[in-house]
């Protein structure tokens, strides 16, 4: 199956495959949302079914919960878990300090809650997600529907005083209607181009009434696992200050990723 993958999907696959090495029997595992995280969930499911790995997964979205159950992972809520051993998730962007932009899949609120309730957060990504400065990817901000246009105007006004290149905010759509998060909220995508001070922006956005959470994950990620289309994997641990390189061989599997959707 992997022989049929595009280089970008091979990169996602090897990063996901390497990340499950961090999962041990009996762990409570935060399960991220998005295309790269979905590969990881499938890899974990294979270990559960074929190797007898015993874990409990805390999903960060309804679609991740559905996929986890489909591949045989026991799903529990964060309230049931109380605390999580490790969370594995993707990212839309990350910088040299392992700060992230997340929320392209619309699950940033649950993703941030689960990640901050974990002993360790591991991000899996293809090499194209690394940037010198965050902001090329639109920054998602989850807002309540009530008065969202006023919130949008206030955010755009706020951005005038921030170190960013762009200040446009757009309502995320799902066809002809507003995209609705699992919590029933809207998402505003901020087209900033470049974020000069991500710490400051994250703080001031969350102080605004109407804003539920933003997609800047600051000082949360511990490890980034980068996948390459030729099977190479690079693991960066910001706490240990280490960078390790490896290569994974592509092995034909029994339709491990059949019907996998982004």
Catalytic positions are 111
What is the distance between the alpha carbons of residues 33 and 108, in angstroms, rounded to a whole number?
Answer: 9
Is 102 marked within a binding site? yes
Is 151 marked within a binding site? no
Which stretches of 53-176 are DSSP H helices?
A: 62-70, 78-81, 108-116, 148-159
Is 92 marked within a binding site? yes
Query: In which order are the strands placed within the sheet that holds 93-94?
Result: 93-94, 100-101, 216-217
Is 104 marked within a binding site? yes
Is 36 marked within a binding site? yes
Is 91 marked within a binding site? yes
Is 95 marked within a binding site? no
Is 133 marked within a binding site? no
| Cβ–Cβ < 8 Å for 125, 36 | yes
Known binding-site residue numbers: 33-36, 89-92, 102-105, 129
| Binding site, annotated residues for substrate | 33-36, 89-92, 102-105, 129
């Amino acid at each position: 199956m992997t022989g049929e993958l595009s280089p970008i999907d091979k990169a996602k696959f090897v990063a996901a495959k390497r990340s499950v090495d961090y999962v041990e029997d009996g762990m409570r595992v935060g399960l991220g949302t998005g295309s790269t995280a979905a590969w990881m969930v499938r890899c974990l499911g294979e270990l559960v079914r074929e190797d007898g790995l015993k874990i409990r997964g805390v999903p960060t979205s309804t679609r991740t919960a559905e996929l986890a159950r489909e591949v045989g992972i026991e799903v529990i809520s964060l309230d049931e878990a109380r605390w999580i051993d490790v969370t594995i998730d993707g990212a839309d962007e990350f910088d040299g300090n392992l700060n992230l932009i997340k929320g392209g899949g619309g699950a940033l609120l649950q993703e941030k809650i689960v990640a901050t309730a974990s002993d360790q957060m591991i991000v899996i990504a293809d090499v194209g997600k690394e940037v010198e400065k965050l902001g090329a990817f639109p920054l998602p901000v989850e807002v309540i529907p009530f008065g969202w246009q006023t919130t949008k105007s206030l955010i755009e006004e706020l951005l005038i005083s921030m170190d960013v290149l762009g200040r446009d905010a757009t309502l995320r759509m799902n066809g002809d209607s507003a995209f609705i998060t699992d919590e029933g909220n809207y998402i505003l995508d901020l087209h900033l181009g470049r974020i000069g001070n991500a710490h400051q922006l994250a703080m001031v956005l969350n102080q605004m009434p109407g804003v539920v959470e933003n997609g800047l994950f600051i000082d949360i990620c511990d490890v980034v696992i980068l996948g390459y289309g030729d099977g190479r994997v690079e693991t960066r641990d910001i706490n240990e200050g280490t960078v390790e390189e490896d290569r994974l061989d592509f092995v034909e599997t029994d339709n491990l990723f059949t019907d996998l959707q982004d």
